Structure 1
Amino acid sequence: MNDPYAKLAELGLALPEVAAPVAAYVPAVQSGKHVYVSGQVPLAEGKLLATGKVGAGVSPEQAKDLAERCALNALAAIDALVGLENVVKVVKVTGFVASAEGFTGQPGVINGASELFGAVFGEAGQHARSAVGVAELPLGAPVEVEVIVEVA
């Protein structure tokens, strides 16, 4: 079986501390065989890595990297709750992109998250997905990612 911790190390990534919620919710909850991860913004050490809208001030390439960071934060929340080794399947990813008027590249931005899940979990990282453009996100974040995984 795929070792998600080894894959993260191969990618030069380490799981961060679980981001503290900015409102009245928890980072992740388990219900039956699924873990639902709250929307994760691109925080590192408690600080937002960027603010603004994609297509005006934040490039699509930068936003893709930020989406990867959101996914890494989601993995940290999953690990803290149940351990990454218990993930059987990444089921659904929903990505939100704070988009400048006329920006339609949301799928490419959210690929940053999807590609990380694929790299870490292999075939089990293949998932259903939505990539949605929105006017604003919490704290002015350019990207937010939420995920549902199935666990053993």
Structure 2
Amino acid sequence: MTPEEKIAELGLTLPEVVAPLAAYVPAVRTGDLVYTSGQVPLVDGKMAQTGKVGAEVGLDDARELARICALNALAALKAEIGDLAKVVRIVKVVAFVASDPAFTQQPQVANGASELLAEVLGEAGKHARSAVGVAALPLDAPVEVELIAEVA
């Protein structure tokens, strides 16, 4: 089953690439690596939810928002390489979580992205990862996810 078929089986649709919010491109390839820019949880051009995780945004919602971010990152990756079947491995994921100062469950938020990548890409979706709490993200996004992929 192709990654795109797996996305459909999960009841998801690979979105259009999110237009850059500033002076950058959604993804850059150098050799066998593709770096995506940070992806926020935009759905149909609108932020799915805003606010700080641990205050206005609960853990379960934040995990789902990280999943949306990962789906947007896969869209940027596919636009760069043409076919997600070319992904050899997701090498690294970084999840930024706009957090209430008392919130310390950033890794559990990032699991939303990590689990989606493993569901879609199988073993090739398993990766190294950082989950970082930050004071604020663009557009008051609760979560932002970027990834590095090795491609054929």
Distance 2:48 2:70 in 1: 14
| TM-score, scaled relative to structure 2 | 0.98
Indicate whether 1:94 and 2:89 are aligned: no
Q: Which secondary structure state, in structure 1, belongs to the residue aligned with residue 90 of structure 2? A: strand
**Residues 3-152 of structure 1: matches in 2 within 5 Å?**
3-82=2-81, 83-152=83-152
TM-score, normalising length: structure 1: 0.98
Secondary structure of the equivalent of 1:145?
Answer: strand
Distance (whole Å) between structure 1 residues aligned to residue 19 and residue 121 of structure 2 = 25
Aligned residues: CA RMSD:
0.7
Counterpart CA distance in 2 for 1:81 and 1:101 is 37
Q: Which structure features the higher share of strand residues?
A: 1
Runs (5+) with no aligned partner, structure 1: none
Shift, 1:54, TM fit: 0.2
Deviation at 1:63, TM superposition (A): 0.4
* Aligned mates of 2:122, 2:16 — CA distance in 1: 24
Residue 91 of structure 1, CA deviation? 0.2
Distance 2:60 2:54 in 1: 10
Distance 2:77 2:145 in 1: 13
Q: Helix, strand or coil for the counterpart of 1:21?
A: coil
Unaligned runs of 5+ in 2: none
Aligned length: 151
- Report percent identity of matched pairs: 65
Query: Which aligned segments of 4 or more residues in structure 1 are displaced greater than 2 angstroms?
Result: none
